[in-house]
């Protein structure tokens, strides 16, 4: 499919949402068709909003100018664009719902971690500790659930759920290296240590995050 029309993926190297889309590009062999454009959505002079009125990454610009936004939509489109090989998101049936359930849990983990990080970026007098505690509790609950299910999850074919889990845990390591999530979740930690060496993940490690945990 190297002669297919060209697409542009606007993403940020530190965004877990954008990283999901970049990982799918690599996993599905779409690099010849997709130009990955590094974009800082927080730059007041960014032209991102000219492509995407939402002003977020990932933003996928199709050859006809159509713009797709929101990581689940972008990832599913990219997966669909590369029909060769197993899909990361099953097309139909119970397998699709099983994968999307894990995908949703992992996205929830990202959402809670990003929300917590945003609160910490505010001036100290404007930070809201109860709100931050709510996100910390959500992170703990989701990690508990993934720990309980990791045996079943690990036995399944690689999917968008697995990749998003790895990206979420990497983001926690990046923003909250003191969190100690591995201590209470040894099964999840062992799984994460293995999957993060996968080429698509190793090639998209965010700046500031070591290739392997210390």
Tell me the sheet residues that pair with 10. 37, 59
Residue 197 has pLDDT above 60, yes or no: yes
Render pLDDT for 131-147 as a digit per residue (tens, 0 to 9): 899 999 999 999 999 99
Which domains, ranges and CATH numbers included, belong to the chain? 7-81 (3.40.30.10), 94-198 (1.20.1050.10)
Q: Is pLDDT of 32 > 70?
A: yes
Burial call 16-34: b when 16+ CB within 10 Å, e when fewer: bbbbbbbbbbbbbebeebb
> What pLDDT sits at residue 125?
83
Average the pLDDT over 161-174 and give the result. 98
Can you give the pTM of this predicted structure?
A: 0.94
Mean pLDDT is lowest, of 58-62, 122-126, 203-207, for 122-126
State mean pLDDT over 33-54: 96
In percent, the amount of the chain with pLDDT more than 70 equals 95
The angle subtended at Cα 156 by Cα 154 and Cα 160, nearest 5°, is 90
């Amino acid at each position: 499919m190297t002669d297919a029309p060209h697409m542009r993926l606007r993403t940020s190297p530190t965004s877990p949402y954008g990283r999901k889309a970049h990982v799918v590009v690599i996993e599905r062999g779409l690099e010849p068709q997709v130009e990955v454009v590094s974009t800082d959505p927080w730059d007041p002079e960014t032209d991102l909003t000219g492509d995407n009125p939402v002003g977020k990454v990932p933003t996928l610009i199709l050859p006809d100018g159509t713009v797709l936004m929101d990581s689940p939509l972008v990832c599913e489109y990219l997966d669909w664009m590369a029909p060769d090989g197993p899909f990361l998101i099953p097309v139909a049936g119970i397998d699709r719902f099983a994968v999307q359930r894990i995908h949703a849990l992992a996205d929830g983990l990202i959402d809670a971690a990003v929300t917590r990080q945003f609160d910490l970026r505010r001036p100290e007098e404007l930070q809201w500790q109860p709100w931050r505690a709510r996100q910390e509790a959500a992170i703990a609950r989701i990690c508990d659930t993934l720990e309980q299910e990791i045996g079943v999850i690990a036995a399944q074919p690689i999917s968008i759920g697995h990749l998003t889990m790895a990206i979420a845990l990497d983001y926690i390591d990046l923003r909250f290296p003191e969190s100690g999530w591995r201590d209470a979740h040894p099964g999840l930690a062992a799984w994460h240590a293995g999957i993060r060496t996968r080429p698509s993940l190793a090639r998209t490690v965010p700046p500031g995050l070591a290739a392997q945990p210390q």
